[in-house]
Amino acid sequence: MQRQAAPGRASEWLDSVIAHLLSASNERGRLGNAVRVFLAFGIKQAWVCLFGGLMLALLIGTHFWYPAHAALPRYDALTIAALVIQILLIVLRLETWDEVAVILLFHAAGTCMELFKTAVGSWVYPEFSYLRIGGVPLFSGFMYASVGSYITRACRGFDLRFSHHPPFAATAALSAGIYANFFLHHYAPDGRYVLIGAAAILFRRSWVFFVIGKTVHRMPLLLAFVLISGFIWLAENAGTYSHAWLYPSQINGWAMVSVAKWGSWFMLTIMSYVMVTLVNRPREIDEASPSVELAG
């Protein structure tokens, strides 16, 4: 059974704002209602993206305004800031200790991959730092942890439930294959298309149900993975624009990250989601229950 974080004042205030926004439903017709629901969805998404949003703001802000010759290197300032944010999320009861344990797994898995990828030249961290392992500054692990934070907070914030969810053994095997491929494709044929195909087959019948206000909405789980990975790809473009890290094609001048990286983030999103299910086990929804009011 998963442990729920007690709602803090900020969460209660957010719920009241969303309730007020949705209280005028049916007053402006279907289009007006749809706009209100979309705005409520966006507000809640911004809230569950809190860790990742703050990290992205720090990357961009320090790129433009951090002193170039400060005694504390920019990367180290980012590491300390990320640690402070994580502590505040715990103190303010916005994350549980179980969820923090999973986020630490993200940090460890991400750092291991960073060490390998920088060693083989997939990308570089061009600035100096003291807090680093090899060529990898420690703040990089928090970028992976932000994905885990988003998914764990979304499970609670949207009261996620599922239908036709694959068994854990199958999703765990897929996740292990995805992680292994990030390393092995440098020495063997790239298995990403096989893995993406396996994900499509495994989750083809899966739907995710999420609550906005008092109404349950739904979408295909695969579509959710595509949308999440797309936003991560956009965030990566902002991250490389801030010179937090650079791909070889960006060394002599910034250019957009290849759209092909969207596929990599799609696989990483699935791997991240499966790691979160170690704590937040997927809950099946009973669509026939009278308490489930599905949006039309």
Query: Is residue 126 included in any domain, yes or no?
Result: yes
* Angle subtended at Cα 141 by Cα 177 and Cα 70, rounded to the nearest 5 degrees: 155
pLDDT at residue 292, as a whole number: 53
Three-state secondary structure string covering the chain: CCCCCCCCHHHHHHHHHHHHHHCCCCCCHHHHHHHHHHHHHHHHHHHHCHHHHHHHHHHHHHHHHCCCCCCCCHHHHHHHHHHHHHHHHHHCCCCCHHHHHHHHHHHHHHHHHHHHHHHCCCCECCCCCCCEECCEECHHHHHHHHHHHHHHHHHHHCCCEEECCCCHHHHHHHHHHHHHHHHHCCCCCCCHHHHHHHHHHHCCCCEEEEEECCEEEEEEHHHHHHHHHHHHHHHHHHHHHCCCCECHHHCCCCCCCCCCHHHHHHHHHHHHHHHHCCCCCCCECCCCCCCCCECC
Query: Is residue 288 included in any domain, yes or no?
Result: no
Residue 2's region, left for phi above 0, alpha for psi from -120 to 50, else beta, is: beta
Query: Is residue 18 included in any domain, yes or no?
Result: yes
pLDDT at residue 1, as a whole number: 38
User: The tokens of 142 are what?
Assistant: 């928090």
Work out whether strand 132-133 and strand 207-212 pair parallel, antiparallel, or are unpaired: unpaired
Query: Is residue 149 included in any domain, yes or no?
Result: yes
Domain that holds residue 61: 9-276
Cβ proximity of 11 and 106 under 8 Å? no
Say how many domains are in the chain: 1
Cα–Cα distance list, 287 to 41, 161, 222, 282, 284 (Å): 21, 10, 19, 15, 9
pLDDT at residue 4, as a whole number: 47
pLDDT at residue 290, as a whole number: 46
Query: Is residue 208 included in any domain, yes or no?
Result: yes
Radius of gyration of the chain (CA): 20
Query: Is residue 281 included in any domain, yes or no?
Result: no
- Block means of pLDDT (10 residues each) for the chain, 296 residues, are 51 75 66 84 91 95 95 97 92 82 87 95 96 94 91 91 96 97 95 96 96 91 97 96 95 93 96 90 74 54
Query: Is residue 294 included in any domain, yes or no?
Result: no
pTM for the structure as a whole: 0.89
Cα–Cα distance list, 242 to 57, 126, 127 (Å): 10, 11, 12
